[in-house]
Amino acid sequence: MRRAPSALLLLALLSLVACAPEGPSGFVTFNVKPDANCVYTPEAGGNLFFPTGLYDISPGGAGDLTDNCSSPYVVHLLVNSFLRPNSDTDLGRAEPNILQLHTAEVKLMSIRHQTIEFNRNANDVLPNPFSVTTNNSLFPAAGSTPSTGIAAVEIIPRDYAPQLDGFVGGQILAEIQIFGTTTGDVDVEFKPFVYPVEICDGCLTLCLRFITNNMLSIEEDVIGDECPDNSSSDGRVCIDPEC
């Protein structure tokens, strides 16, 4: 004769069913602006970030004749880890929960979440989604506050830019998922982060020969305290010397 399960056992089973699944240990907050020294830091990211990206696909002021302003679009993401400390000095166990980031998967989509096809050149179809390298190490969280860092991710490689001309004047979406592995050899997947990017053609490109003293001061105001790296993205201007 089978015995009915005890009340305590039933209660334990019910409590397990009622528990919500754990959320992701890592997540992205936003795309950080550089500070006055052109450095991307989590501290600056608390108040300085781009809610929407801006990417100029122009290769330069002379069009197809030069590619001095052809550059990828790179975001600097504020990444967070909620992994808990698990070292034990008494047992001589090193910290296994330092999270080391290594890869990001990027999918470029229309504003309607349709995957963009980069197949204009039949002999060289570009993959989408695609994987890129990133890196940083996040130490375990302190209490209820996550540990933070910056992960630079190339979300639009330069070879993809020419095929985004149909989106000039509008936006695309970049779905970014970061992957890492702990020092204890546990793989961690971040929650996907969807970031809108405005596409323009020439809005952040200047020809050197058109820059007078007055325009130079204007150009310096445009760059402000951001990076003069000729990236033609997120407010930074590319100056083309050959147009």
Position 84, amino acid: R
Centroid of chain to Cα 65: 31
DSSP for 97-108, written as a single string? --EEEEEEEEEE
Share of the chain above pLDDT 70, in %: 75
Name the band, by pLDDT with cuts 50, 70 and 90, for residue 121.
Answer: confident
pLDDT tens-digit map of 51-98: 999 999 998 765 555 678 889 999 999 999 988 876 556 555 667 888
Global pTM? 0.81
CA distances from 227 to 35, 49, 93, 193 (A): 9, 14, 43, 25
Alpha helices in 178-224 (DSSP H): 213-223
